[in-house]
Structure 1
Amino acid sequence: MDKEMTLDEDFRLDEEEINSDNVSDLEPVTWLNDEDTEVNMFFHRVDSNQIIYQTKKKKCKMIGKYVMGDLLGEGSYGKVKEMLDSETLCRRAVKILKKRKLRRIPNGEQNVQREIQLLKILKHKNVIGLVDVLCNEEKQKMYMVLEYCVGGLQDMLESTPKKKFPLWQAHGYFCQLVDGLEYLHSKGIVHKDIKPGNLLLTLDGTLKISDLGVAEALDMFAEDDTCYTGQGSPAFQPPEIANGHEKFSGFKVDIWSSGVTL
């Protein structure tokens, strides 16, 4: 027993000596609030004016020759973003359409194809102009590059105190709307969805009729402007469509919607 106790005591003494040797080489830890210590081994104070902030650099996204910009709006069909033509340095707007999303919308793909076909043949100062069409089959996306407009009548109306324009301003916009509709009707095209949300404005105040997704091109040999389907916004549709008539005058639909818009 005595031998075991002496061995145990010897072991403890050796352990204490080893630990004391290891600790003796270390210096004490110092903290920021230690008043007695002048030199701090681990921390040092930095003034706010010494900190350099670096903003994260945005990568330039290119679609063909166009530089993508900020988001302008978003609708049921897709997003609309600002775009810059890298060759001419002209501002454009691009409607980004996802084919997967279009398939979930009734007649979505057909409406887009119809709009592209119509815009390709239409050239008028009061109708939105189609500049280019790009497709990305890998991402299943379509890009409709259009004339750039700074805003729409709907947004402007909502920002006015009484939700309406002064008489002189409303008269100017309405005259431009009538000019644009006269051109469309002369080409045998019924818009079917005239409303403030589909009337855009350029920087110089020119009104542009847009969104021809539900428009109908009449047969060039048709006797009159009779239409059989109405897909426009219900609040702007004439009584014959609201009452469920099987056929109606297409041009009169646009005239009625224009009156409601006014």
Structure 2
Amino acid sequence: MSQTTSYKWLTRTCSILLEWAIPVLTVALWQWLGSMEWISSRILPTPAAVVQAGWSLVENGQLFTYIGDSTQRAFIGFAIGGGIGFALAILNGLLPLSEKLTDSSIQMIRTIPHLSLIPLIIAWFGIGEQGKVFLVALGVAFPIYLNTLHGIRSIDHGLIEMGRTYGLQGLALFRSIIFPGALPSILVGLRFSLGIMWITLIVSETISSDSGIGYMAMNAREFFQMDVVVLSIIIYALLGKLSDWMAKQMERSWLQWHPHFRKGK
């Protein structure tokens, strides 16, 4: 292993350790306080108790079913809402007439807190999958729309003119100049919307659900199984962290040409 490779490996390892230092120390302190009985297990079970509860759910096969149901509805909603938000941003960023027709209406809808629509959505869809997918789609659409539109508007007009000088038109101009220029903003919107996706799913599942992690938490609350409730919260946090990590990997992979996103940074 060369000196340069060893240095990069060491730097990357230190970076990972720093990222996880606070969570690991928090869990260690939490376990210690629980073991000393300074925190009642009826209020906050220890990490060991939470792990034991999770293992019991793994053994009976329920945990993966709950996680699968939640993840499926989350990413279906994300795909629908993100696709709509991205398409509208492209249209409004490239076509002034489309922006005049739709942007004002989109901004008015955006100002409505989407979680406040839960009673109405329950009346429309009941407690089935459609309502949760609709809420997630509504929540993620606007961050992607706003950031994509901002990215398109922020592109240097001189670059577009230079592309046209070289004969780029239509789809070729979009693929070579507009989309790469807007991509950093698009990925910011992607990371922001992933967070909103999980927040929306948590609320929708705990209010009305018959499956998923939120249902697991509410069902455990009825029997005062605080270890399962805490486990549900931790699973949501880990899924959110995993989603954000995936978005960061996309940034590093797709934006290697950008000075702020080069490998090794």
Q: TM-score, structure 2 length as denominator?
A: 0.19
Task: Looking at secondary structure, tell me which structure has more strand per residue.
Answer: 1
Structure with greater Cα Rg: 1
Q: Which has the higher contact order (CA 8 A, sep 6+)?
A: 2
Normalised TM-score (structure 1)? 0.19
Q: Which has the higher helix share?
A: 2
